[in-house]
Chains A and B, each alone.
Chain A
Amino acid sequence: MPDSFSPDSLKRIRRLAFAVRALCLLGLLVIGTMPFLFWAQPDWVAHVVLQQWAIPKIQLDLVSRLGGLAGSLLPASVSVYALCQMWSLFGCFAQGELLAHQPAGHLRRLGVALSALAFAQPVGRTLSILALTWGNPKGERQLWVGLSSDHYLSLLFGLLLLALAQVLSEGARLAKENAEFV
């Protein structure tokens, strides 16, 4: 642990780490279960698809919903991976491991996950909608492709984290070198 971090600063980081890890647990619980709960209930699916996705005709049989679930599991699994990296990153911070290569690695993988999420979200929705309309008669099947500012921000934020991970890695190298001076 570098001497340059004051005890007060470390205490604040530990408090923040505790809060973030609690949020990660909550996120893992919700993201890990929500797709299964959502696709298990045809009424809920119908409501969301009609109201939010504005798709007039869909199939709600088990196979279509399983296809929809598979599509939504793509971004969900990337999100779970990102949350796991966040959990590990703040675990390092909670242990006072700040300027080190391990948290830099977690931050880099978190950046990769957020960048990947920018692509996984629209692809996942495209696959889900395709699965729900695949059983429609010819001419009523939909290949929906959409990008929003959320995806753009996710990509930008992911790239920012990748850059910060590089900076943290360099900081870790300098801290190690500094520790070798008496």
Chain B
Amino acid sequence: MPIVVTLDVMLARRKMRSRELAERVGITEANLSLLKSGKVRGVRFDTLSRICEVLQCQPGELLAWEPGPEPEGRDDAG
């Protein structure tokens, strides 16, 4: 998976639960769980912005790129 979401690491650093983050960002816990596991096609900038605001971090601290095969369904976008 080339793009890895490291949101759980940041949550641990901030000692914040997923439920609280989901409430403060304004998304469902289910969607946050999908985001944490990287099972989403993408993240909207406004969602990313709110997450960064709540966690007081930069987008680069939540996402990382790792070499590897592209997951199915991502290469047909755009």
Contacts and interface: CB of A to CB of B under 8 A. Distances in A.
Interface of A: 177, 180-182
Query: Chain B interface: which size bin?
Result: 10 to 19
Given A177-B77, A180-B73, A182-B47, 16 more contacts: A177-B41, A180-B40, A180-B41, A180-B42, A181-B40, A181-B41, A181-B43, A181-B44, A182-B27, A182-B31, A182-B34, A182-B35, A182-B40, A182-B42, A182-B43, A182-B44
Contacts, number: 21
Contacts of A177: 41, 77
Contacts of A182: 27, 31-32, 34-35, 40, 42-44, 47
Contacts of A180: 40-42, 73
Contacts of B32: 182
A181 B73 CA distance: 13
B14 to A, nearest CB: 19
10 shortest interchain CB distances as A-B pairs: A180-B41, A181-B42, A182-B35, A182-B31, A182-B40, A182-B43, A182-B47, A181-B44, A181-B41, A180-B40
Nearest to B43: A182
A182 B42 CA distance: 7
Nearest to A176: B41
Interface in B13-41: 27, 31-32, 34-35, 40-41
A115 B27 CA distance: 45
Interface in B44-73: 44, 47, 73
7 contacts: A180-B40, A180-B73, A181-B40, A181-B41, A181-B42, A182-B32, A182-B40
